């Protein structure tokens, strides 16, 4: 039920971090991996890491916000590897800027990568999924699909939108046996959150690091590997009647009011 043998999975932004761990996990369940990023150096470095693990992975340099480039990549995958069974919309960026200091250009860029790109990617793979009788789309959402906080207005707007795009894809294409679900990671140790975990000049942990541990019943940050089981579940036949759901993988953050100081 959890096997992905014979499946082709495209994971966006999977050079490292959450995308790399999810790709590694889907490969361990039998899927052939295709991934992309924007930096050629990072795509090449990732290829070395996939090879080291014995994972059959093909990397593309492709900006997911560029509709023409995405269509070209999907055509190339179709011609040389096969049609995509599983799409994981993982690529994402964040800009931490107080809202009233943020330019509309910066706000738009975050929306472009975190919301428009998943739309462009899903639109590019759904026709083939319809033809082949089904498919799985997993959108990587966030705590910010539900919660706000200082400095992340664009990111929260995009991730809230991505939650609704997830529900809408499920609503519109569920009849074609396409399941579109989201994973909402809690706070995960990756380059994206590294600035929030930096040791301070006085040797003390970053105040945000202590804040997150106090907000998380598990009392720790998540690791990218914590997302592997949920990703295999949502990519496999085990979730064939799960559609439009956001699976929060957050060590309990959304259930908890937080530890009393």
Q: Which two tokens stand for residue 196?
A: 């929030």
* From 187, 209, 235, 247, residue interacting with ligand GCO (rule: CB under 6 A): 187
Q: Work out which of 65, 89, 90, 142 binds ligand GCO, going by CB under 6 A.
A: 142
Site residues for ligand GCO, 70-129, by CB under 6 A, read 94, 96
Interface with ligand GCO, residue 22, by CB under 6 A: no
CB of 187 to ligand NAP, least distance (A): 5
3-class SS at 13? coil
- The reply to whether 256 belongs to the active site is no
Task: Give the span between the Cα atoms of 40 and 147, in whole angstroms.
Answer: 34
The answer to whether residue 42 forms part of the interface with ligand NAP (CB under 6 A) is yes
Whether 223 contacts 249, CB under 8 Å: no
Cα separation, 226 vs 96, whole angstroms = 25
Applying CB under 6 A, does 242 fall inside the site for ligand NAP? no
Partner whose binding site includes residue 146, from ligand NAP, ligand GCO, none (CB under 5 to 8 Å by kind): none
Minimum distance from residue 97 beta carbon to ligand NAP (Å): 16
Output the CA angle 11-226-205, nearest 5 degrees.
Answer: 110
Question: What is each CA distance from 49 to 45, 57, 106, 193, 195, in whole angstroms?
Answer: 7, 10, 32, 21, 24
> Which residues sit at the interface with ligand NAP, rule CB under 6 A?
12-13, 15-19, 36-39, 42, 63-65, 90-93, 113, 117, 140, 142, 185, 187-188, 190-193
């Amino acid at each position: 039920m959890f096997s992905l043998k014979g499946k082709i999975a495209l994971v966006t932004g999977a050079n490292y971090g959450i995308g790399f761990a999810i790709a590694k996990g889907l490969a361990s369940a039998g899927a052939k991996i295709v991934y992309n990023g924007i930096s050629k150096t990072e795509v090449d470095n990732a290829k070395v890491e996939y090879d080291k693990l014995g994972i059959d992975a093909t990397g593309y340099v492709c900006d997911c916000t560029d509709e023409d480039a995405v269509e070209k990549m999907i055509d190339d995958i179709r011609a040389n590897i096969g049609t995509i069974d599983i799409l994981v919309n993982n690529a994402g960026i964040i800009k931490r800027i107080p809202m009233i200091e943020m330019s509309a250009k910066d706000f738009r860029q975050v929306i472009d990568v975190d919301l428009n790109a998943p739309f462009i990617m899903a639109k590019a793979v759904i026709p083939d999924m319809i033809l082949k009788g089904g498919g799985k789309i997993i959108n990587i959402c966030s705590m910010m699909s539900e919660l706000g906080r200082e400095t992340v207005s664009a990111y929260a707007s995009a991730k809230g939108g991505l939650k609704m795009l997830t529900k809408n894809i499920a609503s519109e294409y569920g009849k074609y046996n396409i399941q579109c679900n989201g994973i909402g990671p809690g706070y995960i140790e990756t380059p994206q959150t590294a600035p929030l975990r930096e040791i301070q000049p006085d040797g003390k942990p970053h105040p945000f690091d202590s804040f997150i541990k106090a907000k998380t019943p598990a009392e720790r940050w998540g690791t990218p590997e914590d997302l592997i089981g949920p990703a295999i579940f949502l990519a496999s036949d085990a979730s064939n009647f799960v559609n439009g759901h956001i699976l929060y993988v957050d060590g309990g953050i959304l259930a908890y009011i937080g530890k009393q100081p």
